[in-house]
Amino acid sequence: MATLLTPFHIDSTGRVAKTNNLDLVVRQMIIDVLVTLKFERLTRPSYGAGIYSLMFEPVDDLVFGEFRMEAISLLNANVPQATIVDLNIKPADLSPMSDGYSTTLTVTVSYSMRMLGIKTFSVSITAPALLTQESGI
């Protein structure tokens, strides 16, 4: 079954880019659940782990552990093609950007798919620095 590629773009033939790669589809679904905020989807208020909220929390094993357990549960409920085995979150130091600092979290997800075994991938999620009056909005 073909599905749209994320991020959305037009391929070389001028059509919307799609894929039949189930592993890629599962990775896209995992990232979607992680970055979607709770209550962001009106018809599915329990969908989404809201990882961006961790950007503004103290770096604490207890906070990350609580998020980890809830995120694994949400991922297993919303990604039926795979079973989430493990999820690790590693904060990075503040990174300088042109107009301030940003916070980056590296998330490593291990998941199991039938006949493909256990797979692991990492994704870095970055939130820009807080907006100030000087931001020009």
| Model pTM score | 0.79
Q: How many Cβ atoms sit within 10 Å of the Cβ of residue 47?
A: 17
**Considering only 82-91, 108-117, 127-136, which range has the smallest mean pLDDT?**
127-136
Two tokens, residue 115: 């006949």
What is the distance between the alpha carbons of residues 77 and 20, in angstroms, rounded to a whole number?
22
What is the distance between the alpha carbons of residues 23 and 132, in angstroms, rounded to a whole number?
40
Mean pLDDT of the chain: 84
Would the pLDDT of 115 be above 70?
yes
What is the distance between the alpha carbons of residues 90 and 79, in angstroms, rounded to a whole number?
23
pLDDT per position as a tens digit, 46-59: 899 999 888 877 77
pLDDT per position as a tens digit, 19-41: 888 888 899 999 999 999 988 98
Would the pLDDT of 123 be above 80?
yes
Q: Exposure pattern of 1-19 as b/e (b: 16+ CB <10 Å)?
A: eeeebeeeeeeeeeeeeee
Would the pLDDT of 137 be above 50?
no
8 versus 75: which is more confidently predicted?
75
Would the pLDDT of 15 be above 80?
yes
Rg (CA), the chain: 17
57 versus 79: which is more confidently predicted?
79
Q: What is the pLDDT of residue 98?
A: 54
How far from the centroid of its chain's Cα atoms is residue 68's Cα? 12
Query: What structural domains and CATH numbers belong to the chain?
Result: 3-129 (3.10.450.40)
Count Cβ atoms within 10 A of the Cβ of residue 130 and give its class: 0-12 exposed, 13-18 middle, 19 or more buried: exposed
